[in-house]
């Protein structure tokens, strides 16, 4: 990995910053891409302090032309980009049912969490195919793509799409004989500022209330009605291991290990029972017509 180039989107804070610093610690030159240019520049300076090269590039991943410009800058600066991390993401607050969300809410979530990642594939993979050196793409999904998470429907939809994009792209790379690996990162509760990401929306599209409240509180405040619905809310309050908050600094080393070992999946938290339950459900889902 030494002295090769990496690009990390949403790298100005949180998990993106942690991943960028870990790649730098592994000897890679890193492009810090973020919609917040000041944050990107601060992380760029942290990366340079580790003895590698780094540049900061302001980029809104929801806009294809900005991601294509990011790719052009990255390749011009570092020549060969070995690692692409599609990390940039947003979510809404407060949690809300799909029927309380607007079309604009869904479009905003999908434009960054899904289309942002696809824009990365579109802009970088064509260039990655031009050389025979090994490459790797990391797409950031979420545990909400693996387990139902009420109040998070648009985010979960986007992350589920990330899963399918990743598996499809990997199969294409393998059948074409391309040395490009793909890792999907499934973060649980990581202490980042994603809960305040509506600050990045145009003012006229922001939620009237951006308070960070739980799904349970949302129900109690009238977002749901009827005893049956409130019981559903209570059912999702069980604290499981993926709810235990971890510091973002723990995520970067996990991602670098996943890249080095070419892991298809990386989890930030133990996550066994929901996956087992889903597998059992799928295994028993087919019932031949009588």
pLDDT per position as a tens digit, 92-124: 877 788 888 889 889 999 999 999 999 999 999
- Active-site annotation holder among 95, 155, 186, 218: 155
Catalytic site residue 155? yes
- Which pLDDT belongs to residue 275? 76
Cα gap 247→15, rounded to integer Å: 9
- Which pLDDT belongs to residue 133? 95
| Residues 96 and 20 sit within 8 Å (Cβ to Cβ) | no
- The strand pair at 265-267 and 180-186 is best described as parallel
- Which pLDDT belongs to residue 156? 94
- Which pLDDT belongs to residue 223? 56
- Which pLDDT belongs to residue 244? 81
Write down all domains in the chain, each with its CATH number in brackets: 5-283 (3.40.50.720)
> What is the pLDDT tens value at each position of the chain, 290 positions in all?
666 999 999 999 999 999 999 999 999 999 999 999 999 999 999 999 999 999 999 999 999 999 999 999 999 999 999 999 999 999 887 778 888 888 988 999 999 999 999 999 999 999 999 999 999 999 999 988 988 888 889 999 999 999 999 999 999 999 999 999 999 999 988 888 877 767 676 665 665 544 545 556 655 665 544 333 333 333 333 445 667 888 999 999 999 999 999 999 999 988 777 777 778 888 888 888 87
Residue listed under structure tokens 């290990």: 257
- Which pLDDT belongs to residue 242? 63
């Amino acid at each position: 990995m030494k002295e090769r180039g990496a690009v990390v989107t949403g790298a100005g804070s949180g998990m993106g910053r942690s991943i960028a610093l870990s790649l730098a610690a592994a000897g890679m030159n890193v492009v810090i891409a973020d919609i917040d240019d000041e944050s990107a520049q601060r992380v760029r300076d942290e990366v340079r302090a580790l003895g590698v090269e780094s540049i900061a590039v302001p980029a809104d991943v929801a806009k294809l032309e900005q991601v294509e410009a990011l790719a052009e800058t990255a390749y011009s600066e570092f020549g060969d980009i070995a690692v692409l991390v599609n990390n940039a993401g947003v979510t809404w607050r407060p949690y809300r049912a799909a029927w309380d969300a607007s079309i604009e809410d869904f479009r905003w979530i999908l434009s960054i969490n899904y289309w942002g990642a696809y824009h990365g594939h579109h802009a970088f993979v064509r260039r990655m195919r031009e050389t025979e050196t090994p490459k790797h793409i990391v797409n950031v999904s979420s545990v909400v793509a693996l387990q139902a998470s009420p109040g998070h429907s648009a985010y979960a939809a986007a992350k589920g799409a990330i899963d399918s994009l990743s598996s499809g792209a990997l199969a294409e790379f393998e059948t074409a004989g391309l040395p490009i690996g793909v890792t999907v990162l499934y973060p649980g509760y990581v202490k980042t500022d994603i809960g305040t990401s509506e600050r990045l929306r145009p003012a006229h599209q922001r939620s009237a209330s951006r308070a960070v409240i739980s799904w349970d509180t949302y129900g109690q405040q009238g977002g749901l009605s009827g005893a049956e619905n409130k019981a559903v809310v209570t059912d999702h309050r069980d604290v499981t291991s993926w709810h235990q908050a971890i510091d973002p600094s723990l995520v970067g080393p996990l991602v670098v290990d996943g890249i080095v070992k070419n892991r298809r999946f990386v989890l930030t938290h133990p996550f066994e029972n929901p996956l087992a339950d889903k597998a059992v459900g799928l295994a028993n889902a087919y019932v031949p017509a009588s």
